[in-house]
Amino acid sequence: MTSDADTDLRRVNMSSTQAGSNDVSEITNVKNPDASLEVIVIPVSDVDRAKEFYGSLGWRLDADVARGDDFRLIQFTPPGSGCSVQFGTNLTSAAPGSAQGLYLIVSDIDGARDNLIASGVKVSEVFHEGTPGARFHAASGRVSGLAPDHGSYGSFATFADPDGNGWLFQEVTTRLPGRVDSAATSFASANDLASAMRRASVAHGKHEERTGKADPNWPDWYAKYMVAEQAGTELPS
């Protein structure tokens, strides 16, 4: 599942080609049909070994289907994900281990990392980028620790499956504007909801410090904060 565009990339001006495409859509008033990315295929050399690995992560096993000796399809879904992973026999001609930069978006990167370590998976330390693109290059440009000010989109950790297919944790707590439907708020799991409530609690504590009094309407304040944070709109003060 791919990440939202990063802050720096968002600042890049839209190309004339992109602008022209958008103009045509507006002129013709044609609405693009919904297209949900639901499955990615990764290449593995040993199907049963890969099945054991992804099962050890706590991912949901959706299917294990075989047609004779020449075809097998296995599908797993990470907790809270709308996109699944498939691998098997005769699913792809790509070389095992060639899938890289597979994003897993988490709201608590330390917690996600700890869960994998508890499962016996080797995970990199948490890092942020010292140079653009360092998230994909372990040799240089990575700076140990969380992103400065613990900024959303800025903290990473990596791990790989037994074939070397590379996965990338990216911590996202506050979405950039326009990345989600501002009219709808949802959380992928109870852990994500709890993390959002904890962030709202910290922010609300600062709010009460500024006002100098307790806020009896804190549930309303929490709700507004959590909705705005997810939608990437202005947070309540």
> pLDDT of 77-135, one tens digit each?
998 888 999 999 999 999 999 999 999 999 899 999 999 999 999 999 999 999 999 99
Q: For residue 132, is it within any domain?
A: yes
Please identify, among 70, 97, 124, the residue that sits at the C-terminal boundary of a domain: 97
Q: For residue 41, is it within any domain?
A: yes
Report the share of the chain in percent with pLDDT over 90: 52
Calpha distance 195→171 (Å, rounded): 12
Residues 121 and 150 in one domain: yes
CATH number of the domain where residue 111 is located: 3.10.180.10
Residue type, 92: T
Q: For residue 140, is it within any domain?
A: yes
Report the share of the chain in percent with pLDDT over 70: 84
Write down the pLDDT at residue 186: 72
Residues 125 and 63 in one domain: no
Residues 73 and 41 in one domain: yes
pTM for this one?
0.67
- Give the number of domains in the chain: 3
Tens digits of per-residue pLDDT, 211-223? 888 988 898 888 8
Residues 110 and 57 in one domain: no
Q: For residue 31, is it within any domain?
A: no
Q: Which domain holds residue 220?
A: 190-231
